[in-house]
Structure 1
Amino acid sequence: MRILKKRKALNPAEILVFGFGGMILIGALLLCLPIASTSGESVGFLTALFSSTSAICVTGLTVVEIGTAYTLFGQFVMLIMIQLGGIGFMTATSMVYMLLGRRITLKDRLVIRDSLNESNLQGVVRMTRNVLIVTLISEVAGMLLLSIRFIPEYGVSTGIYYSLFHSVSAFCNAGFDILGLGDSIVSYGKDPLVLSTIMGLIIIGGLGFFVVVELYRKARQGHKYRFSLHTKIVLIATGILLLGGFIFFLVMESGNPKTLGAPGFTDGDKVLGAAFQSVTTRTAGFASIPQADLTPASKIATVALMFIGASPSGTGGGIKTTTAIMLLALIITVIRGKQDVVLGKRRINKQLVMRAITIITLAMLSVAVMTTLISVFDQHHISVSDILYEVTSAFGTVGLSCGITAALSPASQILLILTMFGGRVGFFTVSLALAKRMSRQQSCNYRYPEDKIMIG
């Protein structure tokens, strides 16, 4: 009875943390079973925990090859976890409630609101339905398109299964593949159908469900419908990052004989490869060119794009595009000597600006600390630049790797597990906690006297 009372006393942020943590533990226990391993023996708890965390956090990093290490049962467990991690466990719970005809309580609505980054309770259940509809349509469309390529190559049953798995993995921005080739989808690096389909799924999942729904409404209503400020910022930021990344990678990698400059790559292949690299860094994790062979400049650009990540209420991670735009707007405001941060002729609430600064600061600190700690454990055989690449990929729930994940020590793998969990859940929870704390402080009847210190 006391435990039940404690559970009811959990706030929405705590429910999200324990919900994701519970799913990770269940997934790890299932992947530990001998039936999940192709060898007939357990893969070990740490390996299973790493795979489960990576799946629930839709990251894509793994210490074993999913397509060869796990049986059909193990791969199916991974697929379910990727789907749950992509749409969020509360959205999945709400779906079950709706199928069973159960009423969604006020507390459930609060958790759903927070998990979808909504600001109010109005229309939360309708938004949940929209999430499920967008997910279903996108993944089915992706599966059908990928089937055009995979069915002739692998047969009907295997081709459909491969198409389904990779469609879900791409839409959820997970980046897992089960082709068993050991190089992600580098073997399809010149295939317009496969790469274009996966890019489309990644972008839709990364935009955020709220933005996708507004795009649909705009398509139906035309000029009568006006985008919200959030949607405008997301679309502009996404467009700039995708185009900027594409141009950068095309210039930097076209002459690299180990990537886009490899023998046999036409100009069209280079354009397609540069576009895919720009898209996949938005927390997806699929690789069409070897990441370890990128030029140093391209690795730095990839780290930056992974750190920013996707947009709120989507399937991707990172600090989010809107957070980065908020920081940029603040810098411009300070340089111009203004007091209010303005975006799209709208004044932004100062509490949101403070949250953005806090999230970015904590994210940078987290990546720096984890990189340092892993460097201590594995400094003798892995470069710091590759470790930074791996840690940023884990934090941004991206999954791109220079191929060092399996070579890391157990201690470093545990640190990566914590980084993935923090990148997917932790900073979002911090954001919620900050919002609640700031709202409580607004009701305080006293304020401390103001003073100044020298900075800069």
Structure 2
Amino acid sequence: MRPMMKPHLLTPPRALAGGFALIIAIGTLLLSLPVAVNGNGLPFIDALFTAVSATCVTGLTVVDTASQFSYFGKIVLLALMQIGGLGFMTTATWFAIAFNRRISLRDQLILKESMNQSNMEGLVRLAGKVFLFSAVIELCGTIGFALRWAAEMPLGQAVWHGFFHAVSIFNNGGFELFGGFTDYAEDPFINLVTIVLVIFGSLGFIVLSELIEYPKTRSLSLHSKVVLTASGILIGAGAIVLAVFEFTNARTLGTLDWEGKLLAPLFQSVGLRSAGINTLPIAELRSATQFFMILMMFVGAAPGSTGGGIKITTFVVLLAALVAMTRGREDVVLFRRRIDRGDIYRAIAVTMLSVFVVIVATLILTAVQHENFLMLLFEAASAFGTVGYSMGLTPKLSLAGKIVVIVLMFTGRVGLITFALALQPKPRKELFRYPEGKITIG
């Protein structure tokens, strides 16, 4: 892992963004090969779009995955989703451990940035756990799916479909081989396996590690408490809102039996954490439901997970700061713990930057795509949140539209703060401070 530029220029954010860019470049090259596709070759922009979508675990597709790609192409997609979901630096660390390679301090700094950690204590051990957890969860998902689909197809094909979807869904990749899971809207087994895989992928490996060790430690960190509580509330509230808005919609929930009416809203609500797998036709949902989904996709999953968005913890810190301000309190408190002001400023910065990026991207899409505004906003939010839900716009994207969505997917996966730090020159330490001033707010 020898750097390609001067050490003082290869900062952790630059190494992280550059690593993802390198994986995308390799993926684009492989998907452009004739052996990766069925029939005619894939245009470069479509190969690039697909590689970015897989590496950034989004799931937006400009071509049909099942029919367009050969087995080689689908294996490339699996590799990109696995590396993109776990993080390329986590993958590199695991290989270094496997081959008894020394992990340098610079590598650990990049790994810390990749896994959204505040310190480097136990990082290498956590990277090892990440691969162990992923392997076990994906194996269980593969077995579950294979057992169900063995009743519909030959065993070998059922295992292949099970493996592909287990990797894709756990990494919140959003790629699937059925043209949607709408045929399984009333299938409790498929729904349950998918929901469990999505939740495990969206909680983050820090939370999973603490949950596994909880019987011994009998304690959870503030981060885990916030993620688990907020995830439960968002999933539950999302399922209720979706059920209320769509209950009488004859094109969605109205066609399902009572079991489907209970499962489908929960499935879609869990999918909004960044999964991109749906059992209801997104384009047929009511406008109110689609707008609500935009808000949920913008929030996204937990830090250190396979999902995107501004992250659940950012959303919770902002809400806690709002509550503290309206109650006249100086400190922001969660679970009897005071939140550092630096974290509050970071949450505000992430949210404001994210809103700005989505607005600008939607504005550009409005200029280059002649489609409904809500459809364009939905696409932008889905790409930035690396969710992968679409109202049908993705296959219609022009060259300019595809470039906009590619940039959104990349920044959404790498993280806006990391992306911004990667682009800026080396910061200089300020030798003075300006006098404090007062300004009227509100």
Q: TM-score scaled by structure 1?
A: 0.93
Partner of 1:15: 15
Match of 1:209 among 201, 205, 210: 205
Secondary structure at the aligned position of 2:274 is classed as coil
Partner of 1:365: 356
Secondary structure at the aligned position of 1:397 is classed as coil
Q: Distance in 1 between matches of 2:194 and 2:3?
A: 45
Contact 1:58-1:82 at 8 Å conserved across structures: yes
Contact 1:59-1:173 at 8 Å conserved across structures: yes
Q: What is the 5 A alignment of 1:81-230? A: 81-179=80-178, 182=179, 184-218=180-214, 220-221=215-216, 225-230=218-223
Q: Distance in 2 between matches of 1:333 and 1:119?
A: 24
Partner of 1:454: 440
Secondary structure at the aligned position of 2:313 is classed as helix
Letter in 1 for 2:13: A
Q: CA deviation at 1:226?
A: 1.2
Contact 2:3-2:10 at 8 Å conserved across structures: no
1:404 aligns with 2:393: yes
Q: CA deviation at 1:8?
A: 6.8
1:257 aligns with 2:256: no
Q: Distance in 2 between matches of 1:428 and 1:244?
A: 29
Letter in 2 for 1:166: H
Match of 1:307 among 282, 298, 317: 298
Q: Distance in 1 between matches of 2:206 and 2:126?
A: 8
Q: What is the 5 A alignment of 1:328-339? A: 328-339=319-330
Q: CA deviation at 1:158?
A: 1.1
Q: Distance in 2 between matches of 1:152 and 1:98?
A: 40
Q: What is the 5 A alignment of 1:273-288? A: 273-288=264-279
Partner of 2:69: 70
Letter in 2 for 1:408: L
Letter in 2 for 1:16: L
* CA 1:360–1:437: 2 relative to 1, 3 Å: farther
Q: CA deviation at 1:453?
A: 2.0
Q: CA deviation at 1:447?
A: 2.0
Q: Distance in 2 between matches of 1:261 and 1:432?
A: 48
1:349 aligns with 2:340: yes
Q: Distance in 2 between matches of 1:3 and 1:329?
A: 41
Q: CA deviation at 1:55?
A: 0.2
* CA 1:448–1:7: 2 relative to 1, 3 Å: closer
Q: Distance in 2 between matches of 1:397 and 1:24?
A: 15
Contact 2:11-2:422 at 8 Å conserved across structures: no
Partner of 1:237: 230
Letter in 2 for 1:363: S
Partner of 2:38: 38
How many residues are matched? 440
Partner of 1:79: 78
Contact 1:17-1:426 at 8 Å conserved across structures: no
Q: CA deviation at 1:428?
A: 4.5
Q: CA deviation at 1:437?
A: 9.3
Secondary structure at the aligned position of 1:154 is classed as coil
Secondary structure at the aligned position of 1:153 is classed as coil
Q: Distance in 2 between matches of 1:344 and 1:3?
A: 42
Q: Distance in 2 between matches of 1:426 and 1:251?
A: 33
1:271 aligns with 2:262: yes
1:296 aligns with 2:287: yes
With 50-59 and 345-354 compared, the bigger mean Cα shift is at 345-354
Secondary structure at the aligned position of 1:261 is classed as helix
Contact 1:114-1:432 at 8 Å conserved across structures: no
Q: Distance in 2 between matches of 1:394 and 1:271?
A: 28
Q: CA deviation at 1:4?
A: 4.2
Secondary structure at the aligned position of 1:152 is classed as coil
Q: Distance in 2 between matches of 1:97 and 1:347?
A: 38
* CA 1:30–1:331: 2 relative to 1, 3 Å: same
Q: CA deviation at 1:426?
A: 3.8
Q: Distance in 2 between matches of 1:326 and 1:3?
A: 36
Secondary structure at the aligned position of 1:136 is classed as helix
- Any idea what the Cα deviations from partners look like across 1:371-428, whole Å, max 9, x if unmatched? 010110112xx10100100110000000001111011111101100000001111415
Contact 1:359-1:431 at 8 Å conserved across structures: no
Q: CA deviation at 1:106?
A: 1.1
* CA 1:3–1:324: 2 relative to 1, 3 Å: closer
Q: CA deviation at 1:335?
A: 0.9
Contact 1:250-1:274 at 8 Å conserved across structures: yes
Q: CA deviation at 1:362?
A: 0.5
CA RMSD of aligned residues (A): 1.9
Secondary structure at the aligned position of 2:254 is classed as coil
Q: Distance in 1 between matches of 2:354 and 2:432?
A: 32
Letter in 1 for 2:295: A
* CA 1:430–1:63: 2 relative to 1, 3 Å: closer
Q: CA deviation at 1:250?
A: 1.2
Q: Distance in 1 between matches of 2:130 and 2:3?
A: 32
Contact 2:17-2:422 at 8 Å conserved across structures: no
Contact 1:187-1:288 at 8 Å conserved across structures: yes
